[in-house]
Amino acid sequence: MPPKRLLVPVDYSPQSEYVAAYAIEMARHMGSRVDILNVWETMPNAPPGLKVVTEDGPRLLAEVLRQEAEGQMKAFLAKLEFGEVEHGFLIESGEPVRAILQGAEAHHYDLIVMGTHGRTGVKHLVLGSVAERVVRGAKVPVLTVPLKQR
């Protein structure tokens, strides 16, 4: 039975664009829905009510970061060609692996489609890749798409 709901975590890197396009093409052939997910990491030491000065005056840092995340998501989605594929997006804050796994379970996704490489750099050497940790913790199948060769 083909998966009906695909979750595609992205970090807005060029690799993420490739993975999202791959998932959309899969969904097109299987009649599936695609939801693009971005998880922005919070600033753990920032107090919850921290305000920052913006052009519009003082605003909560969390509100400014959320607005920025939504703008980045809209710009990312504009690069993709969904055609007739049913789709949506999710923006979460927190630790990426935990947010991906919780989101997949809470929203009843059948398949997670994600890249093997993103923007992690040296962090990978210390913590392991996000994809690796999602594969280990997921309760649904995970399709990892290797780095696009140029």
CATH number at residue 14: 3.40.50.620
**Quick check: is 54 in a domain?**
yes
By three-state DSSP, how is residue 16 classified?
helix
pLDDT at 70 (0 to 100) = 93
Residue 16 class from Cβ within 10 Å (0-12 exposed, 13-18 middle, 19+ buried)?
buried
- Return mean pLDDT, the chain: 88
pLDDT at 65 (0 to 100) = 86
> What percentage of the chain has pLDDT greater than the value 70?
90
Return d(Cα 47, Cα 44) in angstroms, integer.
Answer: 8
Question: Number of folded domains in the chain?
Answer: 1
Stretch 47-70: mean pLDDT, rounded? 87
Return d(Cα 69, Cα 46) in angstroms, integer.
Answer: 18
Residues 6+ apart with CB under 8 A from 105: 139, 140
127 pLDDT more than 60: no
pTM value is: 0.86
Strands annotated E in the chain:
5-10, 33-40, 51-54, 57-60, 87-93, 111-115, 142-145
Candidate ranges 6-20, 59-73, 112-126; pick with highest mean pLDDT: 6-20
48 pLDDT more than 90: no
Stretch 38-63: mean pLDDT, rounded? 84
**Quick check: is 150 in a domain?**
no
The pLDDT-based confidence of 77 (bands split at 50, 70, 90) is: very high
Range(s) of the domain holding residue 31: 5-145
**Quick check: is 127 in a domain?**
yes
Stretch 106-111: mean pLDDT, rounded? 96
Phi first, then psi: what are they for 11, rounded to 5°? -120, 15
**Quick check: is 29 in a domain?**
yes
